[in-house]
Amino acid sequence: MTLIETMAGVPEGSRLSQALNARAEILQLSEAAHDAVLLPRESGGLSHGLRAALAARMCRHVGDETLTAHYESYLAHSSDLDLAALARPGGLRGDPAHDAMARHTDLLTLSPREATRQDIAALKAAGVSEADIVRLSELAAFVNYQLRVLAGLRLLKEVQAR
Amino acid sequence: MSEVVHSFTATIPTWSPYVKPVELASATTEQLAAMKVTPSNKGVSPYVLTLAHDPESLAVRSPLFNLIMYGKDGLSPAERELGALSASVVNRCIYCAAVHASRFISYSGRNDVVEKIFADERDATLEARPQALFNFAAKLSTTPIEASADDARALGEAGLSELEQLDLVLSAAIFGWANRLMHTLGEPVARPEAL
């Protein structure tokens, strides 16, 4: 069972569960996407620990405790324990590149519509490479996708149960 | 002179990145594979060349996107486009909104729905079924997520099956992803012939 299915907890045999089975390939690719952004082979300037910390930060912004706990467990298993501050909204650690990435993560989660060219310029000025800007954007975009698939599924489940 | 597009439109602009895209000539084997570059297919957009900086993500997201938007059964192609459009309006991704408004119109012939959404955005008043889809998809796209059980219940009342409801969740959510790339990594620029 994929992470999204485990966390959504849709009862087996329900019509929603049958719908999920019909979309099994999408769920598997969503799992592969999770692995590609959280545990990539080539992590660039975003260590697996940093990715987990930022993912937990985004989940806290949206208030998803289950998914926050998932990413906190990834962070706890990484060797980058000094990144813990970045896992909390508002938390910074004094490293210009990491702090700029945390701020950009906040922007992409809370108000992506406000993003402009200057936000990318700020990342570059903090020493974040072009490739790392794309890696960070994919991470933030994926986690926001995953949060919405889960939130949507929970709502459909709640309505169906009644 | 290129002109940045700031208003919603169903006329598809081009897209200009804020970061330097990967150069095709120096792309790695993994980047070429993620971009689906083959000897017979060398046309790659600036958007895909930009995303090629992270080939592991790109290689997975492309097939995921295609299955969600163009997979068989379930929600109609037009209504998947409506889900995509709803998210793109909330996130103000002008480029995504243009592409998917245009596709919605070609599938459904309903320019009027797009005109209402572009004019009134979140306050657009539509017929019962598109209204239920639009409300749910838009409210799933906000942070914090505003969608409620009432919004979900309205989907069933509008006649959507469980599979159609799931497809709407997926089409709105995948644009929570796409908008966060397209709108934040570059900007829409009017095509020369549209000026």
Query: Any idea what the CATH number is for the domain that residue B118 is in?
Result: 1.20.1290.10
- Element spanning B32, H or E: helix B29-34
Identify which of B50, B63, B93 has the shortest CB distance to residue A134.
B50
Would the CB atoms of B18 and A117 count as touching at under 8 Å? yes
* Token pair in block for residue A104: 């950009």
Identify the band that residue B37 occupies on the pLDDT scale cut at 50, 70 and 90.
confident
| Mutation site for A-interface testing, chosen from B23, B121, B139, B166 by largest number of A Cβ within 10 Å | B166
B23 touches chain A (CB under 8 A): no
Give the minimum alpha-carbon distance from A93 to chain B in angstroms, rounded to a whole number: 24
Does residue B88 register a pLDDT over 50?
yes
Taking 80 as the threshold, does the pLDDT of residue B161 lie above it?
A: yes
CB spacing of B19 vs A32 below 8 angstroms: no
Paired with B186 in beta bridges are: B17
Would you say residue B171 has pLDDT above 50? yes
Please state, in angstroms and rounded to a whole number, the distance separating the CA atoms of residues B153 and B9.
Answer: 31
Chain A interface includes B4 (CB < 8 A)? no
> Nearest by CB to A26, which of B68, B172, B178?
B68
A21: left (phi over 0), alpha (psi -120 to 50) or beta: alpha
Distance of CA B113 to the CA centre of its chain: 17
| CB A39, CB A122: distance < 8 Å | no
Inter-chain contact A33–B53, Cβ cutoff 8 Å? no
Look-up of token digits 């602009």: B13
pLDDT of B41 reads 73
For an interface test with B, which of A137, A142, A143, A162 has the most B Cβ atoms less than 10 Å from its Cβ? A137
A162 pLDDT more than 50: no
Percent of chain B with pLDDT strictly greater than 70 = 98
Instruction: Please state, in angstroms and rounded to a whole number, the distance separating the CA atoms of residues B186 and B189.
Output: 10
CB contact under 8 A, A40 and B56: yes
Q: Give the pLDDT of residue A37.
A: 98
Q: What is the mean pLDDT of residues A122-136?
A: 98
Q: Which position has the token pair 């922007």?
A: A107
Give yes or no for a contact between B139 and B172, defined as CB atoms under 8 angstroms apart. no
Fold of A3-161: AhpD-like (1.20.1290)
Given 3-state DSSP classes, what are the helix, strand and coil percentages for chain B, each rounded to the nearest 5? Answer: 65, 5, 30
Beta bridge partners of A110: none
Average per-residue pLDDT for chain B: 95
Would B16 be classed as within a structural domain?
A: no
Residues 6+ apart with CB under 8 A from B142: B90
pLDDT score recorded for residue A8: 96
B184 contact residues in A (CB cutoff 8 A): 107-108, 112, 115, 119-120, 137
Number of domains comprising chain B:
1
User: Does residue B193 form part of some domain?
Assistant: no
What's the alpha-carbon Rg for chain B, to the nearest Å?
17
* pLDDT for res B43: 82
Maximum alpha-carbon separation in chain B: 54
Do A40 and B144 count as a contact with CB atoms less than 8 A apart? no
Q: B33 to chain A: which residues are within 8 Å by CB?
A: none
Q: Is the distance from CB of B9 to CB of B191 less than 8 angstroms?
A: no
Give me the mean pLDDT over the B126-135 stretch: 98
What's the gap in Å between the CA of A67 and the closest CA on chain B? 15
How distant is the Cα of B121 from the closest Cα of chain A, in angstroms? 13
**3-state SS, residue B74:** coil
- Given CB atoms, is B195 within the 8 Å cutoff of chain A? no
Residues paired with B21 in a beta bridge: none
DSSP state of B2: -
Percent of chain A exceeding pLDDT 90 equals 94
Phi, psi at residue B143, to the nearest 5°? Answer: -125, 120
Is residue A118 scored above 60 in pLDDT?
Answer: yes
Contact B143/A19, CB-based, under 8 Å?
A: no
User: Measured between beta carbons, which residues in chain B are less than 8 angstroms from residue A115?
Assistant: 183-184
Backbone angles phi, psi at B156, to 5 degrees: -65, -40
Domain span at residue B170 reads 69-185
Contact between chains at A62 and B143 (C-beta distance less than 8 A): yes
Of residues B91 and B192, more confidence is placed in B91
Does residue B2 form part of some domain? no
% of chain B surpassing 90 pLDDT: 92
Of the candidates A25, A131, A153, which has its C-beta nearest B169's C-beta?
A: A153
Q: Is the pLDDT of residue B133 over 50?
A: yes
Instruction: Mention every residue, 6+ apart, whose C-beta is less than 8 A from residue B141.
Output: A148, B86, B87, B90, B91, B172, B175, B176
Alpha helices for chain A (secondary structure H):
3-8, 15-22, 24-38, 48-62, 65-76, 96-110, 117-125, 130-161
Contacts of A29 in chain B (CB under 8 A): 60, 63-64, 67
C-alpha–C-alpha distance, residues A111 and B129, integer Å:
28
For residue B111, give Cα distances in angstroms to A77, B104, B106.
52, 8, 9
